[in-house]
Amino acid sequence: MGPTVQNAFFDNYTPVSDIAMMALCFVMYALVLTSYVTRTRSYRIFMVVLGSLVLAGMTNVSYNMLLKTGDVAYAGAVYAGRITYHAILYFVFVMFSVYIGEVTGLDKPRKRAILLTAAILAGVMTALEITFALTGHGFRFTKAGVTARGINLFMIGYLLFIIMQAVLLVRVRHLLYKRVMNGFFASVGISLVIMILQQIFKQSSFTTVTFLFPVVAMFYLMHSNPFNAATGTVDSRAMQEMVRYMHTHRKSFVFLSLYLPEFEAEGKKLPDEIQATVRRFATGFFRGAVLFQVRNGHLILMVPKTRNPDYEHRIQNILSAFRKQYAHFRYSYKIVIGESMEEISEKNEYVSLIRNIHRDIPDDSVHRVSPDDIRRFNRSEYILQELTDIYTKKNLNDPRVRAYCQPVFNIQTGRFDTAEALMRLELEETGLVYPDQFIPMAEAHGYIHVLTEIILHKTCQEIRKMSEEGFDISRISVNVSVLELKEDDFCGDITRVIDNNHINGERIAIELTESRSEADFMVMKEKIEELRGRGIKFYLDDFGTGYSNMERIMELPFDIIKFDRSLVIASGADERSEKIVENLANMFKDMDYSVLYEGVEDDKDEKRCREMAASYLQGYKYSRPAPIEKLRNFLPKAG
Ligand code: C2E
Ligand code: CA
Ligand code: CA
């Protein structure tokens, strides 16, 4: 094909489109700067593309202006400008490909393969353009301002890239949420249509603009944040909005919550195969359902009832499909299913309700929300409010925190001369609340240390009073959570309370449970050593429940090892278990620890424990925990 004179073609260039395109880039840039966007890699790619397009626009406008002068003196600059312009656009294509790899979360080797393919294509096309320019093929800027062109190399490169992009999208389609994929396809398609149209109308002004459509798609994805392209989920904020909407429009819904505790941790990602399943489950079973990802391992599907009148049937379907999947993956799960309820919608508290239920149900179970759950939830919300208030007021005499106490029998002296302080809450609406209903909550919200200070204060106060009344009390132990040891001034807080009550540190013991973490162990060791210097004794609580690292226990200067009730029970079950418990107890005794058996309920328990190297006994046999004042009934009078 010989070169044809095509002045008309190039005359059809007007800079208006490029300028408008650049303006749009600036608008998007301004919007990104003034709104909240997570700084992911996709975001950085987007910014690079935006910058490149502005650069491309400027190059295009510049070289076309030189071209318009018709002055051959500018020929070199025109060639360079044109090649640069095309090279930038190829680069943008490369970035698009990289972006697709990024949003679909492909692994490193596959991302690298995509980058390599795109980069080679861009490199080859650019090299060809340079060669053509040097050898006088393709586009030419001839004397007297006559431009001519042969093969439209750029158009070939453009088409190749469009094909590559389409192939890539098809190959990753199983990794993308369908609606997101369709969006990408539409943007690539529209670009292609415009490119073809401008060829038909012998135009060249709209080339750069066609690159803007995928950019708009990227922009949308970034801002429909936290819309997750891989799972098609939206976050808890969006869920709250949906609940509000459904509530004000009196629309009822069903919710299905799936919790995968293994993926709960920050930064953990659901594996690809789970994401694929999630995508299928989100759309496959209900009409008009929306899936929310409220945390890493927690998904909630909201299903409008009106569009799914047969929802019960559909729930059965999704559950049996889930069970089939579970047979595959075997990740532990908790499923909670319920219907919209006026009082929960009003407070917009579905997520808290579900998480509250999680605490009470076992792993790998499906639970239907019952009125009882709601009652329990309201109760624990109320308790939490009160805890928050107690924490904020930080009044060491807060009457809502009650010190209960259980006497401990000392075998050596044959008397009850120590005791354990146990906390209760006494609240207006609920009456007495037991530790299992508020300690985990207090720990989770960081309130536990203030509670400890209160209980310690009340215990010290009572020790002082009883001593003044002539009762003989060696010490009372107080439970401390391992979490508290990390408080800024843990030791200072403890000694301050003791000192302010004018009692000796030896009157107080602290009960700690083992922790698995190495860091906790180091902190524990440090704090125990510091407080022992003040005479405070230390007990290892709950020995025998779950995990026990002997080596570490021996490294910590405990005074008393509290054998958990489970060991008392086990020792009563068969002779072999009794032997094991006895040997453990003897081993501790030989190493100068005292052994305390917890949960001694009857004479048989007591007899066994006495035979198994016991120094102290504690349990319902002697007394249930009672208000600390009642301790007087057990204590001997001095002298
Ligand atoms: P724990 O420290 O192991 O306390 C012993 C628990 O066993 C107490 O339950 C007590 O009432 C119960 N118990 C005592 N004798 C017997 C018995 O003969 N048989 C049976 N089956 N149980 C018996 P409680 O008071 O409900 O406390 C439960 C847990 O709550 C405590 O376990 C402790 O871990 C925690 N806790 C209680 N008070 C406090 C506190 O002030 N601070 C902290 N951090 N935790 C506390
Ligand atoms: Ca204890
Ligand atoms: Ca215990």
Q: Do 181 and 211 belong to one domain?
A: yes
For residue 503, pLDDT beyond 70 = yes
pLDDT in tens, 509-532: 999 999 888 888 889 999 999 999
Q: Could you give the CA distance from residue 406 to residue 628 in angstroms, rounded to a whole number?
A: 8
> The domain spanning residue 268 has which CATH number?
3.30.70.270
> The domain spanning residue 547 has which CATH number?
3.20.20.450
Please give the residue range of the domain that contains residue 17. Answer: 10-223
Nearest CA to ligand 1 atom 45: 479
Percent of the chain residues past pLDDT 70, beyond the cut:
94
Residue 3 lies in a domain: no
Ligand 1: lining residues by beta carbon, under 6 Å: 406, 422-423, 434-435, 439, 448, 452, 455, 479-481, 541-542, 565, 598-601, 619-620, 625
Q: Do 325 and 394 belong to one domain?
A: no
Residue 229 lies in a domain: no
Nearest to 512 by CA among 502, 521, 500, 499: 521
Q: Do 475 and 505 belong to one domain?
A: yes
Q: Which of 223, 249, 276 is the last residue of a domain?
A: 223
| pLDDT reported for residue 271 | 81
Q: Do 347 and 399 belong to one domain?
A: no
Q: Do 365 and 280 belong to one domain?
A: yes
| pLDDT reported for residue 147 | 67
| Strand residue runs (E) in 185-330 | 253-259, 290-295, 298-304
Residue 429 lies in a domain: yes
Name beta bridge partners: 637: 471
Q: Do 461 and 512 belong to one domain?
A: yes
Residue 5 lies in a domain: no
Q: Could you give the CA distance from residue 445 to residue 435 in angstroms, rounded to a whole number?
A: 15
| pLDDT reported for residue 296 | 83
| pLDDT reported for residue 223 | 64
pLDDT in tens, 149-178: 677 888 899 999 999 988 998 888 777 766
Q: Which residue has the higher pLDDT, 83 or 244?
A: 83
Residue 115 lies in a domain: yes
Q: Is the pTM of this model over 0.95?
A: no
Nearest CA to ligand 1 atom 33: 479
Q: Long-range contact list for 149-156, CB < 8 A, 24+ apart? A: 149/3, 149/4, 149/6, 149/9, 150/1, 150/2, 150/3, 150/4, 151/1, 153/125, 153/128, 153/129, 154/86, 154/89, 154/125, 154/129, 154/207, 155/195, 155/199, 156/125
| pLDDT reported for residue 388 | 97
Residue 562 lies in a domain: yes
Q: Do 471 and 602 belong to one domain?
A: yes
| pLDDT reported for residue 450 | 98
Q: Do 364 and 389 belong to one domain?
A: no
Instruction: Give the confidence band of 6 by pLDDT, cuts at 50, 70, 90.
Output: very low
Residue 601 lies in a domain: yes
pLDDT in tens, 332-360: 999 999 999 999 999 899 999 999 999 88
pLDDT in tens, 69-86: 878 888 889 899 999 999
Percent of the chain residues past pLDDT 90, beyond the cut:
62
Give the three-state DSSP class for 428.
Answer: coil
Q: Do 407 and 307 belong to one domain?
A: no
Residue 538 lies in a domain: yes
Q: Do 497 and 355 belong to one domain?
A: no
Nearest to 112 by CA among 98, 96, 131: 98
Integer-rounded Cα radius of gyration of the chain: 37
**480 C-alpha to ligand 2 centroid (Å):** 8
Number of structural domains, the chain? 3
Q: Do 321 and 392 belong to one domain?
A: no
Name beta bridge partners: 301: 256, 291
pLDDT in tens, 266-315: 777 778 788 888 878 888 899 988 888 888 889 999 999 999 999 999 99
| pLDDT reported for residue 215 | 86
Q: Best of 390, 396, 422 to mutate for ligand 1, by most ligand atoms within 8 A of CB?
A: 422
For residue 581, pLDDT beyond 70 = yes
> The domain spanning residue 56 has which CATH number?
1.20.1070
**470 C-alpha to ligand 2 centroid (Å):** 27
pLDDT, averaged across the chain: 89
Q: Which of 325, 347, 369 is the last residue of a domain?
A: 369
Q: Do 460 and 604 belong to one domain?
A: yes
Q: Which of 198, 223, 248 is the last residue of a domain?
A: 223
